[in-house]
Copies of this chain bind each other. A is one copy, B any other.
Amino acid sequence: MATENQENENVGWFKGFIRKIMNVVISVAKDTKKLGEEDPRRIIHSFKVGLAITLVSLFYYFDFFYAGFGVSAMWAVMTVVVVFEFSVGATLGKGINRAIATLLGGALGVGAHRLASFTGEKVDVIMLGLSVFFIASSVTFIRFFPKLKARYDYALLIFILTFCLISVSGYRNDEVLEMAHRRLSTILIGGSATVFICIFICPIWAGKDLHNLTANNIEKLAIFLQGFGHEYFETTNDKNQENVKASIDGYKTVLNSKGTEEALVNFAKWEPRHGKFRYRHPWDQYLKIGSLTRECAYRIDALNGYLNSEMQTSPEIRTKIQESCTKMSSECSHALKELALGINTMTSSLPADPHILNAKTAAKKLKSSLKTGLWPDTDLVDIIPAATIASMLIEIVSYTVKIADSVHELASLSKFKSRDEASRNEKSKGKVTRTPSIESHSLSINIIE
């Protein structure tokens, strides 16, 4: 009886264990599928990396037998593994950093090695040690300079590395030169293979991502403002309430987008001409637009938080401000959508301007309606929430104006075409102008005009 129980227990434990394992496998499979679906370029990137590493590994394998580069051939494999990044800009930046740093570090290393070899047998160790200490400490400190850190951090690291490896190696003088040369050439081979595969097989451009991210972020604010009127004044059907709520909260990702944006700008600056972007596209302007978009998002978050807090307006007062408020938010929303569409299609976003004017007019109208004293019998404490929401919206209108200005500036800097011109060009090519769909990391939202 006891053994049977124990056996049953064992079987139960075993079944539970299998079930747990199965659950883990299933959840991992689901995550994998989700990651791939969110951005299929991840899968392509993985295959590209696999291809590059395999090709260069085989070079390393065959070289072993013909012994052209010897052990140094492994630097080529290392270079591919370390340099191959998701976007072309990041890969190019890292590759160029690595190549130049290896060249400079190697040259200085050979120099230090030769200088030390002129001195006596014990002095040379001290000299080498001191020079390594000095170079390593000072370059490590230089890595703290913010501007250098942003663009050349990897170069500084590789510079220290190459300098130490070359200068301290105990080879004879001519061997050291050869070693430095081999290291440089294998790194160049690995680096070029990486850059070639990265650019010519389904390239992923950081510049394009930055461009789409900027447009998407503006679009998200627009979606909030579009939904805001419906949600706050409850003029929508209940059945798609949930959907509206979810898309409304999309703006929250904008709040913390600074890091991503700065990284993308840094990468984009390394990229050559691609698509509609020329080599020196005004990437810094995107930072300006992004920072205004974020500030507007802070205000929207404050507004959203205020709506969800305990403060409630009485329905009568809500009705009184409803018209102006919905007008303001919907006009801002339209303007922001036009701006996002303008960025996406790289056409001038002048169609946003009338919407902005309308929003400003609505703001003025609201102010004057408050002045004429439409509210004689209402308690002040009831008005406050409505007044607060109204003033927050007015603030958001002023940020929309600022965003529009910075987008117009981008348009003139990068010579966006006017929409008529663009659509004429499209037609002359026999194509129909269509609503573009934004492709980017998990941000795929269709623009509905």
Tell me which of B31, B74, B134 contacts A165 (CB under 8 A).
B74
Q: How far is the CA of A57 from the CA of B109 in the complex (A)?
A: 13
Asked if residues B140 and A50 are in contact (CB atoms below 8 Å), the reply is yes
Q: Closest approach, in angstroms, between the C-beta of A77 and any C-beta of chain B?
A: 5
What residues on B are CB-neighbors of A298 within 8 Å? 255, 298, 301-302
Q: How far is the CA of A129 from the CA of B53 in the complex (A)?
A: 9
8 A Cβ contacts from A338-390 to B: 367-368, 370-371, 373, 375, 379-381, 383-385, 387-388, 390
Stretch at the interface among A156-164, A239-247, A413-421: A156-164
Residue with the greatest number of chain B CB neighbours at <10 A, chosen from A129, A138, A388? A388
Binary CB contact string for chain A from 145 to 168 against chain B (1 if under 8 A, 0 otherwise): 100000000000100110011001
Asked if residues B77 and A161 are in contact (CB atoms below 8 Å), the reply is yes
Q: Closest approach, in angstroms, between the C-beta of A165 and any C-beta of chain B?
A: 5
By beta carbon, the residue of chain B nearest A39 is B144
- Given that A57-B168, A160-B81 are contacting pairs, would A49 and B136 also be in contact in the complex, using a CB cutoff of 8 Å? yes
Residue with the greatest number of chain B CB neighbours at <10 A, chosen from A35, A168, A392, A395? A168
How large, as a class, is the contact surface on chain A?
A: 35 or more
Q: How far is the CA of A98 from the CA of B370 in the complex (A)?
A: 67
Q: How far is the CA of A370 from the CA of B144 in the complex (A)?
A: 54
Asked if residues B71 and A133 are in contact (CB atoms below 8 Å), the reply is no
Asked if residues B392 and A134 are in contact (CB atoms below 8 Å), the reply is no
- Given that A57-B132, A140-B46, A298-B301 are contacting pairs, would A381 and B391 also be in contact in the complex, using a CB cutoff of 8 Å? no
Asked if residues B373 and A384 are in contact (CB atoms below 8 Å), the reply is no
Tell me which of B45, B51, B170, B384 contacts A61 (CB under 8 A).
B170
8 A Cβ contacts from A251-287 to B: 255-256, 258-259
Q: How far is the CA of A137 from the CA of B388 in the complex (A)?
A: 54
By beta carbon, the residue of chain B nearest A396 is B302
8 A Cβ contacts from A64-122 to B: 64-65, 71, 74, 77-78, 81-82
By beta carbon, the residue of chain B nearest A385 is B391
What residues on B are CB-neighbors of A371 within 8 Å? 379-381
Stretch at the interface among A13-21, A210-218, A228-236, A303-311: A303-311
Asked if residues A169 and B64 are in contact (CB atoms below 8 Å), the reply is yes
Asked if residues A77 and B168 are in contact (CB atoms below 8 Å), the reply is yes
Q: Closest approach, in angstroms, between the C-beta of A76 and any C-beta of chain B?
A: 10
Listed by A's residue number, 24 A-B pairs whose Cβ atoms lie within 8 Å are A32-B141, A42-B144, A43-B141, A46-B137, A46-B138, A49-B140, A51-B133, A53-B160, A54-B136, A57-B129, A58-B125, A61-B128, A64-B171, A65-B170, A74-B165, A77-B161, A258-B259, A302-B395, A306-B391, A368-B381, A373-B380, A380-B383, A384-B387, A388-B392
**A50-B140, A57-B132, A61-B170 known, 10 other contacts, Cβ within 8 Å:** A35-B144, A45-B140, A46-B140, A57-B164, A60-B168, A71-B71, A77-B161, A77-B165, A81-B157, A298-B298
Give the 9 A-B CB pairs with smallest separation, nearest first.
Answer: A64-B170, A50-B137, A302-B302, A46-B141, A388-B391, A298-B298, A53-B136, A50-B136, A46-B140
